[in-house]
Copies of this chain bind each other. A is one copy, B any other.
Amino acid sequence: MFQGEHKNTMDAKGRVNIPASFRETLRSRYGDEQVIVTRDYDGCLHAYPPKEWERNVIASLRSRDFNDKWRRSYERFVVSPAVTCIPDKQGRILLPPTLRDFAELDKAVLFAGGEGHFEIWDIARRESQLEQDLDMLKNGPQHP
């Protein structure tokens, strides 16, 4: 379990510090600090320890037929852009330009915990997403 929300800043080279508590979770629960980072539907990035990546993403891929339409889309959108990131000595990862662009990350970055993975957001985008989320929770999914 990755806990809490943490604001960090990405530097000019595209490096961001992974919150220390997340790194601690990675080490103690998954053995090392590497994560597999990829796109999410909602405009942020998702980071998985390899074991969780395998168990969630790859497994749901394999459950579909090879020529399934959903599978091909999923493969292109989620699996292709994935890269494994290994933190440097300072605990930072370098996000490749394609992922940076997709999530519109520039400086203010937010790490949000979750079960088995965590999210990486551009702060502004996260806030507008939260408004939608709140609306959904109050009014239910059928609301316009």
Contact = CB atoms under 8 A, between A and B. Distances in A.
Nearest to A4: B83
A72 B84 CA distance: 25
Contact of A137 (B74, B97, B129, B134): B74
A134 B42 CA distance: 10
Contact of A6 (B75, B98, B130): B98
Contact of A76 (B3, B4, B77, B112): B112
B98 A7 contact: yes
B119 A70 contact: no
A137 to B, nearest CB: 6
A108 interface: no
Nearest to A98: B5
Given A76-B112, A77-B130, 16 more contacts: A3-B82, A5-B80, A5-B96, A6-B96, A7-B98, A41-B137, A69-B141, A70-B137, A73-B136, A76-B129, A77-B137, A79-B113, A79-B114, A80-B114, A80-B119, A82-B113
